[in-house]
């Protein structure tokens, strides 16, 4: 029997239907569309220093996000195949049933993601590949650099030039549904944490990130932070906070998994500036989104150097690899109570403020002089908002092997005095310990 011809959209870190270039494009074609998402086994296994790539907090967020995506796709008459094997195996299986004419997906460039694409090509050699950059604020075709080697070493130079010479493209609207006749019910279900080899957990009531995964909750958060509470008006003044849900936007987990598009956030900031208020605070959210872009361009320029011990500066420092030091740091049992409080927050919730991250990273790599990549790998396992470029880029920056022209070391006690002067943050996480 002849197989039914289809196009497949393979979702990766683009778990949304709004402003999704691959989705917009595939729905312009004439063939029925099937969606696919894989909980890739390699992402849930041990990989470096005995650490898993993904721990339960992020896995839980992804499960929620994929469930939301499945519902959203249904409203576009698209069925979602959810798989627990590698994408190449999943597509091979799908190709037993369907003739896959085209595969549409978000373009990635880090080596592991590229390897996955190569494996897929081997499995379905006759399929046409169409990939799109969907994760940027400034589209790579629009930035004022001929090639990525020209990306400056210093963020400010990048930001100023882009702000002067590059327009942020308007977000794409949610596309029209495909014909209901094209709906293919794939009848697949989501894995549990246990099935992914992870432990179930109760959410900690102190968490600064108590939210659910998915485009729906991401959009609700945006509406709350901008329109209902108008907290955006104070963003720059509060963003160094440590406690509670509202000191910063908390967009990062939704951005990291593509539940929110940076261009949509940008468009909403611009709308807010027109309708409510335009000030330093509203601008600063865009400023931070440019930082996010910058680390993506740094990894486009430097490739795998961002994972090497010398970083992109190829520095030859002496690093220790002390197991006891790692245990103390990761469990929040160092000599430093501010570092400890932050590390306990991360361990119990999968989230930590930007201020906290800078301090614990600097403490690990500059005070304790431990291999910075172990710290980065621990963050990779634990963070709900883990993003390869932001994580490894910020870790390099804070460890003296990246893009910080000043190569600063944080004085964690001074930082605690400044940002937690009444000790409330430390009391929240240290409870009845020595503090």
- Give 8's strand partners: 34, 103
Instruction: Name the region of 142 (left: φ>0; alpha: ψ -120 to 50; beta: rest).
Output: alpha
What minimum distance in Å lies between the beta carbon of 189 and ligand FAD? 29
Cβ pair 242, 358 in contact under 8 A: no
What minimum distance in Å lies between the beta carbon of 377 and ligand FAD? 12
Are β-strands 128-132 and 98-106 bridged in parallel, bridged antiparallel, or unpaired? parallel
**CB of 99 or CB of 281, closer to ligand FAD:** 281
- Locate 36 and state its tokens: 């696919």
What minimum distance in Å lies between the beta carbon of 255 and ligand FAD? 5
CA 122, CA 173: separation in Å to the nearest integer?
34
**CB of 64 or CB of 345, closer to ligand FAD:** 345
What minimum distance in Å lies between the beta carbon of 216 and ligand FAD? 18
What minimum distance in Å lies between the beta carbon of 398 and ligand FAD? 5
Instruction: Name the region of 310 (left: φ>0; alpha: ψ -120 to 50; beta: rest).
Output: alpha
What minimum distance in Å lies between the beta carbon of 242 and ligand FAD? 11
Residues near ligand FAD (CB under 6 A) are: 239, 248-252, 255-256, 285, 288-289, 291-292, 295, 353-354, 357-358, 361, 379, 383, 385-387, 390-391, 394-395, 398
Q: What are the respective helix, strand and coil percentages of the chain, to the nearest 5?
A: 50, 10, 40
Q: Give the residue from 19, 186, 204, 228 showing the smallest Cα distance to 94.
A: 186
- Locate 319 and state its tokens: 């690093």
**CB of 7 or CB of 394, closer to ligand FAD:** 394
Cβ pair 298, 388 in contact under 8 A: no
**CB of 107 or CB of 373, closer to ligand FAD:** 373
CA 313, CA 333: separation in Å to the nearest integer?
32
**CB of 32 or CB of 218, closer to ligand FAD:** 218
**CB of 125 or CB of 405, closer to ligand FAD:** 405
**CB of 8 or CB of 232, closer to ligand FAD:** 232
**CB of 71 or CB of 414, closer to ligand FAD:** 414
**CB of 36 or CB of 343, closer to ligand FAD:** 343
CA 169, CA 142: separation in Å to the nearest integer?
9
What minimum distance in Å lies between the beta carbon of 183 and ligand FAD? 34
What minimum distance in Å lies between the beta carbon of 243 and ligand FAD? 13
CA 215, CA 270: separation in Å to the nearest integer?
21
What minimum distance in Å lies between the beta carbon of 409 and ligand FAD? 13
What minimum distance in Å lies between the beta carbon of 164 and ligand FAD? 21
**CB of 183 or CB of 251, closer to ligand FAD:** 251
Long-range contacts from 209-212, C-beta under 8 angstroms, 24+ separation? 209/245, 209/250, 209/253, 209/349, 209/350, 209/351, 209/384, 210/245, 211/245, 211/250, 211/253, 212/61, 212/64
Q: Give the residue from 37, 31, 34, 33 showing the smallest Cα distance to 14.
A: 37
CA 289, CA 297: separation in Å to the nearest integer?
13
- Locate 388 and state its tokens: 């390869």
């Amino acid at each position: 029997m002849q197989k039914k011809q289809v196009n497949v959209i393979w979702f990766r870190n683009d778990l949304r239907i709004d402003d999704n270039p691959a989705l917009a494009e595939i729905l312009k074609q004439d063939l029925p569309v099937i969606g696919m998402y894989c909980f890739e086994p390699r992402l849930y296994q041990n990989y470096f220093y005995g650490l898993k790539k993904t721990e339960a907090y992020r896995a839980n967020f992804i499960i929620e996000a994929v469930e939301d995506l499945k519902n959203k796709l249904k409203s576009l008459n698209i069925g979602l195949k959810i798989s627990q094997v590698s994408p190449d195996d999943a597509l091979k299986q799908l190709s037993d049933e369907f003739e896959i004419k085209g595969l549409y997906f978000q373009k990635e460039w880090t080596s592991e993601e590229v390897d996955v694409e190569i494996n897929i090509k081997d499995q379905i050699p006759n399929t046409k590949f169409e990939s799109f950059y969907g994760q940027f604020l400034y589209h790579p075709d629009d930035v004022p650099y001929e090639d990525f080697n020209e990306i400056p070493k210093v963020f400010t130079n990048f930001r100023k030039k882009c702000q002067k010479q590059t327009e942020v493209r308007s977000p794409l609207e949610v596309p029209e549904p495909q014909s209901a006749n094209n709906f293919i019910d794939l009848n697949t279900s989501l894995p549990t944490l246990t099935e992914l080899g992870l432990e179930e957990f109760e959410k900690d009531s102190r968490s600064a990130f108590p939210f659910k995964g998915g485009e729906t909750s991401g959009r609700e958060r945006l509406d709350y932070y901008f329109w209902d509470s108008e907290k955006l008006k104070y963003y720059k003044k509060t963003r160094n906070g440590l406690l509670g849900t509202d000191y910063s936007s908390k967009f990062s987990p939704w951005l990291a998994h593509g539940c929110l598009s940076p261009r949509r956030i940008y468009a909403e900031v611009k709308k807010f500036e027109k309708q409510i208020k335009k000030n330093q605070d509203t601008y600063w959210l865009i400023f931070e989104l440019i930082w996010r872009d910058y680390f993506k361009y740094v990894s486009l320029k430097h490739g795998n150097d961002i994972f090497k011990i010398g970083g992109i500066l190829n520095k030859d420092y002496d690093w220790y690899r002390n197991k006891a030091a790692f245990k103390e740091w990761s469990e929040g049992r160092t000599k430093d109570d501010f570092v400890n409080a932050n590390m306990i927050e991360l361990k119990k919730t999968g989230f930590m403020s930007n201020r906290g991250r800078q301090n614990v990273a600097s403490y690990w790599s500059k005070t304790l002089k431990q291999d910075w990549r172990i710290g980065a790998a621990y963050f990779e396992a634990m963070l709900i908002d883990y993003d390869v470029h932001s994580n490894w880029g910020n870790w390099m920056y804070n460890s003296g092997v990246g893009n910080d022209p000043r190569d600063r070391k944080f004085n964690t006690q001074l930082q605690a005095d400044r940002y937690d002067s009444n000790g409330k943050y430390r009391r929240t996480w240290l409870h009845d310990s020595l503090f």
